């Protein structure tokens, strides 16, 4: 995969956060990073078609630019929307008392963050609104410098969480100072910083 395509798939994954189910998006990101673009494309396109997740013309063009066959029937089966739908979650700095304790995940993520080029770790509680694909959970936003491989950071740190704790918290990796897609922007707005370089 060339650099331009890799950047495009990274952008596609960021744009679809909050719209694709967490596990499907995790698989897409890990497959792209792991050099399995055919598997990633299949998961991405089939999930969007099956779950009726609409994409804008701009998003369709971006996705088509990453496909071996830009006129794929699987892409044609994905619904069209005129504009990006609102984020189907509400984010908060504070979780309800019944929420799982994130302390162990905080420790695992912050211990390896700098090695992956992460400059700040933020955490927010996510509550689903009507139509959200997933339930309430902690979400981590990892802010990197401009040189980081965002899919690599995601894959490395989400794998570390799984190996050490058998936990799968949603991780969003963003470049500090760059404009963010709606999901990440909504999370960052309220997410307190729990670690920084």
pLDDT digits (tens, 9 = 90+) for 17-72: 999 999 999 999 999 999 999 999 999 999 999 999 999 999 999 999 999 888 88
pLDDT confidence of residue 174:
97
Which pTM does this prediction carry?
Answer: 0.94
The Cα 141–Cα 189 span in angstroms is: 11
Q: Which residues of the chain have pLDDT under 70?
A: none
Which pLDDT score is estimated for 70? 86
- Note the pLDDT of residue 146: 86
- Taking the alpha carbons of 15, 151, 173, 106 in that order, is the dihedral positive or negative? positive
pLDDT value at residue 173: 97
Give the side-chain half-sphere CA count within 13 A for 101: 4
Do 139 and 194 touch, CB atoms closer than 8 A? no
Ordered structural domains, the chain, with CATH: 3-76 (no CATH), 89-196 (3.30.300)
């Amino acid at each position: 995969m060339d650099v331009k395509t890799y950047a495009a798939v990274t952008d596609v994954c960021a744009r679809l956060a909050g719209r694709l189910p967490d596990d499907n998006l995790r698989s897409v990101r890990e497959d792209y990073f792991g050099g399995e673009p055919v598997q990633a494309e299949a998961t991405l396109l089939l999930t969007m078609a099956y779950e009726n997740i609409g994409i804008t013309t701009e998003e369709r063009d971006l996705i088509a630019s990453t496909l071996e066959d830009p006129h794929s029937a699987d892409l044609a089966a994905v619904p069209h929307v005129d504009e990006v739908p609102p984020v189907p979650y509400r984010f908060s700095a504070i979780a309800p008392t019944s929420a799982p304790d994130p302390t162990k995940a905080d420790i695992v993520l912050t211990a390896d963050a700098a090695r992956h080029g992460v400059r700040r770790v933020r955490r927010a509680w996510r509550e689903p609104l009507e139509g959200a694909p997933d339930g309430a959970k902690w979400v981590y936003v990892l802010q990197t410098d401009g040189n980081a491989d965002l899919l690599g950071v995601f894959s490395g740190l989400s794998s570390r969480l799984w190996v050490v704790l058998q936990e799968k918290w949603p991780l969003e990796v963003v470049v500090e100072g760059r404009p963010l897609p709606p999901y990440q922007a909504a999370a960052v707005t309220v997410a307190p910083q729990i670690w920084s370089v």
